[in-house]
Amino acid sequence: MRRRTVSGAVLALLFLLALSAPALAVPSKPAVVRCCAILQWHLRNSLTGGAADITFNYGTGSTGDRPVFGDWNGDGTKTPGVRRGTLFLLRNSNTSGPAELEIRYGILGDRPVVGDWDGDGADTIGVVRLRDDNRLEWLLRNSNTPGPAEISFVYSLGNDLPVVGDWDGDGADTIGAVRRQANFRFQWLLRNSNTGGAAEVSAVYGLNSDQPVVGDWDDNGDDTLGVVRRAANGRLQWLLRNSITGGGAELSFVYGLGTDFPLVWR
């Protein structure tokens, strides 16, 4: 009888531990969006080349839609969105269909950005605006609703490429910029808070003609660097690093066509 009691207690403890354990994460994965009349989304389930595992249509090139990925409902999966003019059109599944969220935010000419700014597990919208002094102003929201910016600051220069990632693994996304240098290399200038100031982390990685991408490639909880390069055969070569440092690619594969727009999803 005593043995049964102990066994039951152990089983109950294991059950409680299982309930409290965080869900297993997965590394970031590659995606491309193919233009033009209808935007075609091609997603892979691994950091390898090959055929798309998930394909669907969402958005249109004729209206100038700019694709974004985000976990809009906090379920752990990034799903598609586009910014059309000043309107964000978001879906909660990787399927074709109408937008499930429509948010008017920002002005024409703003660049869309997406991140989990407050660390609550869901991604929300933002825009980056070029100011008259050739600086970039970041205007971020903590909910996928219209309204004034809840976070605003100035960071980086007008020709920089905005990037977003969880650089320090604290569960919240913060901002960064990629700057084209005179030696035709990319300089990454990253901050661990959504505020203006000097870069807290800096690295040189990639070429001026590359497209920067950000992801948690090794599933260790923080985001690191990557670039996508158009190869000589007209395909896209992904060159990824598992740390925010310069050096050679630690993971390389070919996925997508040279005219595709690369994105990252989980």
Residue 56 lies in a domain: yes
pLDDT, residue 248, reads: 97
CATH of the domain at 107: 2.120.10
How many domains are there within the chain? 1
Q: What is the reported pTM?
A: 0.89
Q: Residue 52: what pLDDT?
A: 98
What's residue 18's pLDDT?
A: 39
Give the pLDDT means over successive 10-residue stretches in the chain (266 positions): 41 38 68 95 97 98 95 97 98 98 98 98 98 98 98 98 98 98 97 98 98 98 97 95 98 97 95
Strands (E), the chain: 29-34, 40-43, 54-57, 66-70, 79-84, 87-90, 101-104, 111-115, 124-130, 135-140, 151-157, 161-165, 174-180, 185-190, 201-207, 211-215, 224-230, 235-240, 251-257, 261-265
Instruction: Examine residue 201 and state whether it is found in any structural domain, yes or no.
Output: yes
What is the domain extent for residue 162? Answer: 26-265
In this prediction, residue 42 carries a pLDDT of 98
Whether 250 is covered by a domain: the verdict is: yes
Is residue 125 in a domain? yes
What pLDDT score was predicted for residue 17? Answer: 37
Q: Is residue 13 part of a domain?
A: no
- pLDDT for residue 232: 87
What is the DSSP annotation of 181-228?
Answer: -TTSEEEEEE-SSSS-SS-SEEEEEEETTSEEEEE-TT-SSS-EEEEE
Contacts (Cβ under 8 Å, ≥6 apart) of 6: none
**20 is a domain residue:** no
5 part of a folded domain: no
Q: Report pLDDT for 26.
A: 75
Question: Residue 12: its pLDDT value, please?
Answer: 42
